[in-house]
């Protein structure tokens, strides 16, 4: 778990690289670090009050998320995927996750479905906690983001495993890694109606269809859910002038 101090100038000693990566990711997604921005190790080390070691690790994490380009002896530069790339990723994800849900409808065990309900209960708790925050509370709370993202990821992971197709599972995971999934939460953090709709209502519809062993209903519910998440993310990034 990553913990974020309320001060911008210093970071806590737990999960330094993860926390720094989180803050830089937020700056990129919010347009504070636009495409082409240079990320100099010495400047980042001074900003966060740390050595260069966690800075290097944080930049490697961002590179894995396709948000920076790190080159030997040339430093790091903000490099974001194009809008077309992101559209393509969500189109593929929606259809592949829908297919996984269709397979899971016939292959999931009772234990799988019970686990799905437990993971959804954890997600619902995280959503309630998010909604109990003051309306003007800051968005850069890594602990909040991590709890919500982890709970959501656990729900989807149960479905992927229950589908019983390893290649399909690996393909979905690869697509999920293309861009930070928790960036969707930034887009809806203060939209409580959408927060509930996405993370409770839509998930419960998926779980209900799976319990009923409805292949088509399960597939449609999951595909629509992922497609909607992509639309929300793209709209948010457009508003932030993410692509310039």
Query: Which pLDDT score is estimated for 192?
Result: 86
CATH code: domain 16-78 is 1.10.10.10
pLDDT score of 74: 73
Beta bridge partners of 104: none
pLDDT of residue 144: 67
Centroid of chain to Cα 190: 16
pTM for this one? 0.80
Helix (H) or strand (E) run with residue 71 in it = strand 68-71
For the chain, where do the domains classified as CATH 1.20.120.530 start and end? 83-239
Please report the sign of the dihedral spanned by the C-alpha atoms of residue 27, residue 31, residue 35, residue 37. Answer: negative
Position 5 scores a pLDDT of 38
| CATH 1.10.10.10 domain range(s) in the chain | 16-78
pLDDT given at position 177: 87
Identify the CA nearest to 142 among candidates 10, 233, 26, 9.
26
How far lies 173's CA from each of 64, 66, 115, 137, 232, in Å? Answer: 13, 15, 20, 32, 20
Q: What is the pLDDT of residue 2?
A: 39
Kindly calculate the radius of gyration of the chain based on its CA atoms and give it in whole angstroms.
19
What are the b/e assignments for 29-63, b being 16+ CB within 10 Å? bbeebeeeeebeeeebbebbebeeebbeebbebbb
pLDDT averaged per 10 residues, the chain (length 244)? 38 69 87 88 93 93 90 83 94 98 98 97 89 63 73 95 97 90 77 92 98 98 97 91 80
pLDDT of residue 146: 72
Which residue's entry shows tokens 């948010």?
236
Task: Return the CATH number of the domain spanning residue range 83-239.
Answer: 1.20.120.530
d(CA 15, CA 215): 41
What burial letters (b/e) apply to 131-167, b meaning 16+ CB within 10 Å?
eeeeeeeeebbbebbbbbbbbbebbbbbbbbbbebee
Q: Report residue 215 as tokens.
A: 């292949």
Q: Max CA-CA distance within the chain? A: 57
């Amino acid at each position: 778990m990553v913990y974020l101090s309320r001060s911008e100038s210093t970071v806590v000693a737990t999960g330094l690289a993860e926390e720094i990566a989180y803050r830089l990711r937020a700056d990129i997604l919010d347009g504070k670090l636009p495409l082409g921005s240079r990320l100099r190790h010495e400047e980042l080390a001074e900003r966060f009050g740390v050595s260069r070691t966690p800075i290097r690790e944080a930049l490697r994490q961002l590179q894995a998320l396709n948000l920076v380009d790190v080159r030997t002896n040339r430093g790091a530069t903000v490099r974001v995927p194009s809008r077309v790339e992101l559209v393509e990723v969500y189109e593929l994800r929606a259809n592949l996750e829908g297919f996984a849900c269709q397979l899971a409808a016939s292959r999931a065990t009772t234990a799988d479905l019970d686990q799905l309900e437990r993971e959804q209960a954890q997600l619902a708790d995280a959503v309630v906690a998010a909604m109990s925050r003051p309306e003007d509370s800051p968005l850069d709370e890594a602990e909040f983001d991590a709890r919500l993202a982890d709970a959501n990821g656990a729900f989807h992971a149960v479905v992927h495993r229950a589908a019983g197709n390893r290649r399909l599972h690996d393909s979905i995971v690869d697509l999920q890694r293309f861009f930070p999934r928790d960036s969707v939460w930034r887009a809806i953090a203060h939209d409580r109606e959408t927060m509930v709709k996405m993370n409770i209502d839509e998930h419960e519809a998926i779980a209900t269809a799976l319990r009923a062993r409805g292949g088509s209903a399960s597939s449609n519910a999951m595909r629509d859910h992922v497609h909607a998440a992509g639309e929300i993310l793209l709209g948010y990034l457009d508003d932030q002038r993410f692509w310039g």
